[in-house]
Amino acid sequence: MLLDFLAPPVCLACRHLLRTPPPGGVPPLCSRCAPELAPLDPAARRVGDVEACFLYDGPLAAAVRRLKFGGELELAGPLGRLLAHAPVWREGWDLVAPVPLHWRRALARGYNQAALLARWAAREHPTGARVDPRLLQRVRATPPQSELDGPARRDNLAGAIVVRPGRSLAGRRVLVVDDVTTTGATQAACLRAVRAAGAARAAGLALLRSAL
């Protein structure tokens, strides 16, 4: 109750105060903005080894863009907490690895939005998994995936993401977290790197799934 008084819940879209906090897994949206939420068909939530929570559309897509490109870091908490209710968490994980940014992009942006979401999700879903923001490394700068089609996205990331030297994942279970997945090429590159380092189990989780 004290937390709600000091930091009352607000609508992700319009910033209006919410009368009551939403239940877990429900986006904090007011009655005017909630109808614009784009649910993801349950059959489309999991594609291969990558699970997503919502469709990349409406107020959640706008909130992710504001976090990612607008520097509105206060959105990381409510967005990250939505990730914590994805069914994939029930499998149990040893490590949570955010999808990495190349160091030049990380320096320009000042933060990795995937790392922020992963920390909030792990805090909300205390399974004992440790968030390791430096487990994966993007060793080659690549053009933004959003500018490429499906085959080009896969070629763009060939050899670009690795597990940092000296890190063994033998027998470990690793969940890779990102904000948005489209073709799954970025997550697939991360999962290949994790498996090559000996992980016993690897899967991906994204807040939003977009169409190419």
- pLDDT over 90 percentage in the chain: 68
User: Is 18 inside a domain boundary?
Assistant: no
Please enumerate in sequence order all residues whose Cβ is within 8 A of that of 123, keeping only pairs 6 or more positions apart, or say none: 80, 84
> pLDDT for 84-120, tens place per residue?
999 999 999 999 999 999 989 999 999 999 999 999 9
Higher-scoring residue by pLDDT: 136, 126: 136
**Tally of structural domains, the chain:** 1
Q: Give the structural domain span for 77.
A: 38-209
Please enumerate in sequence order all residues whose Cβ is within 8 A of that of 206, keeping only pairs 6 or more positions apart, or say none: 50, 51, 52, 53, 177, 178, 179, 180, 181, 187
User: Is 19 inside a domain boundary?
Assistant: no
User: Is 109 inside a domain boundary?
Assistant: yes
User: Is 181 inside a domain boundary?
Assistant: yes
> pLDDT for 7-20, tens place per residue?
578 999 998 999 88
User: Is 10 inside a domain boundary?
Assistant: no
| Whole-number pLDDT of residue 146 | 57
Instruction: Tell me 8's DSSP state.
Output: -
Mean pLDDT across 54-67 = 96
Residue 149 above 70 pLDDT?
A: no
Flag whether the pTM goes above 0.85.
Answer: yes
User: Is 3 inside a domain boundary?
Assistant: no
Higher-scoring residue by pLDDT: 57, 2: 57
Q: Which helix (H) or strand (E) holds 160?
A: none
- pLDDT over 70 percentage in the chain: 88
User: Is 32 inside a domain boundary?
Assistant: no
| Whole-number pLDDT of residue 147 | 55
User: Is 148 inside a domain boundary?
Assistant: yes
> pLDDT for 71-89, tens place per residue?
999 999 999 999 999 999 9
Write the CATH number for 202: 3.40.50
Residue 133 above 60 pLDDT?
A: yes
